[in-house]
Amino acid sequence: MKTIITIGREFGSGGHEIGFRLAEELGIPFYDKLLVSMVAEEGEFAEKYLEEMDEKVGIHIAPFLATRSNYSVYNQPISDKVFFRQAEIIRKLAEDGACVIVGRCADYILEKNENLLRVFLYGDLKDRVARKEAMNLEIEESDMTKHVLNTDKKRARYYRHYTGRIWGARENYDLCLNTSVISIEESVKLLRELVLNREKTLG
């Protein structure tokens, strides 16, 4: 199998679950929070710190693009250092073969890979809020709706900062799915069939 599936997602749209189940059914590696652990294993940053800043950028920092090969920039923000190291790991994982990668601008980082399938998941706000409320998450905001909206804003800012593109814009993806209309199960099935058919074309 050759296909590399990247999944961008609105918060609460089921990206982690769909990605995990798809990878499991296809028998290929799945990467989400594991990417944070892989950076932490190198020892420069504590994993707890990396988790807190995951898919976030600092304030008042100039944008850098993910295509830069040298990120040893004077006074470079830590968030940039982490991003570029994570981008290197993502490229290496793609070189190793088929996999599913959730978030982290992977669709942009790997855009020149001929085996790439870029997916974006979204859904109605009420459905996304309900899905997260069912998970009994501990949140800082006063309610889950505010938490969902704030998380989306952070992801959009992160994506725009490192890619110069608009997060969720259809032209950045090969397929966009509304998980309020297409269930988690149906999304996994649809993506699985799409990948398998694509593999026949790839030979």
pLDDT at 139: 75
Domain positions in the chain:
4-198
Cβ–Cβ < 8 Å for 3, 25:
no
Mean pLDDT by 10 residues, the chain (203 residues): 96 96 97 73 59 57 39 58 85 94 95 95 96 84 89 94 95 97 97 94 75
SS3 category, 114 = coil
Contact residues for 100 (Cβ-Cβ < 8 A; gap 6+): 4, 5, 6, 7, 19, 20, 22, 23, 26, 28, 29, 30, 31
- In sequence order, what DSSP letters do the residues of 29-91 get, joined into one string? -EESTHHHHHHHTTSSS-HHHHHHTTT---SS-----TT-S----TT--HHHHHHHHHHHHHH
Q: How far apart are CA 173 and CA 169, in angstroms?
A: 8
**Residue 28 DSSP one-character state:** -
Nearest Cα neighbor of 104 from 5, 4, 3, 8 is 8
Q: How far apart are CA 189 and CA 176, in angstroms?
A: 15
Q: How far apart are CA 71 and CA 17, in angstroms?
A: 33
How many other C-beta atoms lie within 10 A of the C-beta of residue 202? 12
pTM of the model: 0.84
Q: How far apart are CA 177 and CA 183, in angstroms?
A: 10
Question: According to DSSP H, which parts of 120-183 are helical?
Answer: 125-133, 144-163
Fold of 4-198: Rossmann fold (3.40.50)
Cβ–Cβ < 8 Å for 64, 71:
yes
pLDDT at 52: 64
In tens, the pLDDT along 50-96 reads 566 666 665 433 333 333 444 444 456 677 777 888 899 899 999 99
Distance of CA 113 to the CA centre of its chain: 16
Query: Which residue has 């993502």 as its token pair?
Result: 90
Q: How far apart are CA 94 and CA 82, in angstroms?
A: 18
SS3 category, 16 = helix
Tokens representing residue 70 in the block = 């040298």
